[in-house]
Amino acid sequence: MPELPEVETTRSGIAPYVAQQIITGWDIRQPQLRWAVPVESLQSIVGEVITSVGRRGKYLMLNTPKGCVLVHLGMSGSLRVISDGREPGKHDHVDLLLRDGVCLRLTDPRRFGAVLWQPLGETHPLLSHLGPEPLSDAFDTVYLSNQAKNRSVAIKQLIMNSRVVVGVGNIYANEALFAAGIDPRRAAGKISSARIAILVSEIKKVLSRAIEQGGTTLKDFVDSQGKPGYFQQSLNVYGCGGAPCPQCGKRLKEVRLGQRSTVFCSFCQR
């Protein structure tokens, strides 16, 4: 599934082609994705300008004077900038048509993605309970320490909880905990503030590096130009269960935690 770095890579890739462009139409070939596409609301903004392209968690935000189009890529979706008029394929479900001839095309083989509408001045229910962005100043040692205080939940599950902090998906949680030297199974409330500070720093570093490298391509993700991300070449533990630890050489352990694959070094992480 595309995680925060992949979505941010998509945002920065499409923004130069989409921002300040006038919407001339929509071609909605599949109106039922994860949720029904709000066709009438989308048609109501034909003629409006896309003032900016933002992101909240894993949701892309196409902002207009009337409100915001929210796009979620689901399990294997991608947004492509189409400028050569190529015909849509089987899984190309929604086209956003712009005045300069560019088309923003949503491709989603599994149809777990979404195109939604958020009217101006309102917050969509899917965004209303999200925690702070991990790369923002709001996500700091004091904040995460307060969230972890007296909680018995495993630290990995805490940082993957979107109500606590958005966008720290499974890949990046594994990597940040390894870099911080923290056992992902450890109760969040048992971790000192000093170690929480290290974890916050490593989460920011891991996500920033992933964004710089265009995200992680394990199966399906490609950016707005159809190119894969390369952060998988920098992974230390994710997907490496049974391999030698890159720090101590001992065999990495793999367990299931919260129904997700969790890889760590039982010697380096405590």
Is 212 a known active-site residue? no
C-alpha dist (Å) from residue 261 to 7, 8, 139, 170, 239: 22, 24, 25, 8, 8
Is 2 a known active-site residue? yes
CA distance 211 to 205: 10
The pair of three-digit structure tokens given for residue 8, joined into one six-digit string: 């941010």
Q: Reduced to 3 states, what is the DSSP secondary structure of residue 16?
A: helix
The single residue of 34, 204, 205, 260 carrying the catalytic annotation is 260
- Report the first-to-last Cα separation within the chain, whole angstroms: 28
The pair of three-digit structure tokens given for residue 221, joined into one six-digit string: 């993700």
The single residue of 3, 6, 133, 202 carrying the catalytic annotation is 3
Residue 105 in marked binding region: no
Residue 124 in marked binding region: no
C-alpha dist (Å) from residue 43 to 37, 53, 55, 67, 94: 11, 19, 22, 12, 13
Residue 151 in marked binding region: yes
The pair of three-digit structure tokens given for residue 233, joined into one six-digit string: 């070449």
The single residue of 2, 5, 134, 184 carrying the catalytic annotation is 2
Q: What is the gyration radius of the CA atoms in the chain, in angstroms?
A: 20
The single residue of 11, 55, 58, 80 carrying the catalytic annotation is 58
DSSP calls for 53-116: EEEETTEEEEEETTEEEEEE-TTT-EEEEE-S-PPP-TTEEEEEEETTS-EEEEE-TT---EEE
Binding residue numbers for DNA = 91, 110, 151
Would you please indicate which residues are annotated as catalytic (active-site) residues? 2-3, 58, 260
**Where is the binding site, in residues?**
91, 110, 151
